A and B are shown apart, each in its own frame.
Chain A
Amino acid sequence: GDSVTQMEGPVTLSEEAFLTINCTYTATGYPSLFWYVQYPGEGLQLLLKATKADDKGSNKGFEATYRKETTSFHLEKGSVQVSDSAVYFCALSDPFAGGTSYGKLTFGQGTILTVHP
């Protein structure tokens, strides 16, 4: 079945540092890929997405490129801020999946990011 693996956390950075959170996936079809962010005390919200190979999703200075050849969707930001401290989830959904995968998101385990001033 489909699966998502994120880099082990937690990640601690100083403000203005470069961020990379690795995400790789396993899927039988052609999934759409997502990054969700969960700020303290809140639910998850969509950060960015990509629906086909070589697509780049971007939002709030974050970027991720859909790499089919390496089955990866790594999240990057050039200069993090304290306000970026949150839990980040990589996820996939296969719009063409049948059976038990239909219409569902598969999440990675989440990566806690803490940014210090």
Chain B
Amino acid sequence: DADVTQTPRNRITKTGKRIMLECSQTKGHDRMYWYRQDPGLGLRLIYYSFDVKDINKGEISDGYSVSRQAQAKFSLSLESAIPNQTALYFCATAEGSGEAKNIQYFGAGTRLSVL
């Protein structure tokens, strides 16, 4: 089984709909991240969390919200989806301390299309 699991893997939705992307991990890591990937732009950070009570905005948080329900679960919500949120979304985790905190482990991604 994958250490970082994202659901769903693919989703098509309509403009204005609320949608939630889920991420769960079995690595026991404190840190979790949400990114979106667009062609030619690399990965851009949406939100990140260093523990259950510590949630921070990334560089492109507008139009998104997150919930850290437990150490192992970090959900990303689009309150009212719009077409320019069509992208590939990745969840990642990292250890909370030491040099290893700089190494992130990624899920397989969720491909979201907003029509």
CB within 8 Å of B: which residues of A? 32, 34, 36, 41-46, 49, 51, 89, 93, 95, 103-105, 107-110
Tell me whether A89 and B42 are in contact in the complex, defined as CB-CB below 8 angstroms, given that A43-B108, A103-B50 are known contacts.
Answer: yes
Cα distance, A108 to B43, chains bound together (Å) = 8
Q: Residues of A contacting B42 with CB < 8 Å?
A: 89, 107-110
Cα distance, A34 to B105, chains bound together (Å) = 13
Complex partner residue of A104 from B4, B40, B45, B90, CB under 8 angstroms: B45
Tell me whether A109 and B41 are in contact in the complex, defined as CB-CB below 8 angstroms, given that A43-B107, A46-B103, A93-B102 are known contacts.
Answer: yes
Check if A44 sits within 8 Å of B106, measured CB to CB.
yes
A–B Cβ pairs within 8 angstroms, 18 of them? A32-B102, A34-B102, A43-B4, A43-B90, A43-B92, A44-B43, A44-B90, A44-B106, A45-B105, A46-B103, A93-B102, A95-B99, A103-B94, A103-B101, A104-B45, A104-B58, A105-B102, A108-B42
- B15 CB-CB contact with A under 8 Å: no
Complex partner residue of B101 from A34, A43, A95, CB under 8 angstroms: A95
Interface size bracket, B side: 20 to 34
Tell me whether A109 and B101 are in contact in the complex, defined as CB-CB below 8 angstroms, given that A43-B4, A43-B109 are known contacts.
Answer: no
Cα distance, A46 to B31, chains bound together (Å) = 17
Interface of B, helix, strand, loop or mixed by DSSP: strand
Residue in A36, A93, A104 whose Cβ sees the most chain B Cβ within 10 Å? A104
Q: Residues of B contacting A105 with CB < 8 Å?
A: 102, 104
Cα distance, A51 to B92, chains bound together (Å) = 20
- Closest A residue to B35 using CB positions: A107
* Nearest-Cβ distance from residue B110 to partner chain A, whole angstroms: 10
Tell me whether A42 and B99 are in contact in the complex, defined as CB-CB below 8 angstroms, given that A89-B42, A109-B42 are known contacts.
Answer: no
Q: Residues of B contacting A36 with CB < 8 Å?
A: 106
* Nearest-Cβ distance from residue B11 to partner chain A, whole angstroms: 16
- Closest B residue to A1 using CB positions: B59
Q: Residues of B contacting A89 with CB < 8 Å?
A: 42-43
Q: Residues of B contacting A32 with CB < 8 Å?
A: 99, 102
Cα distance, A105 to B59, chains bound together (Å) = 12
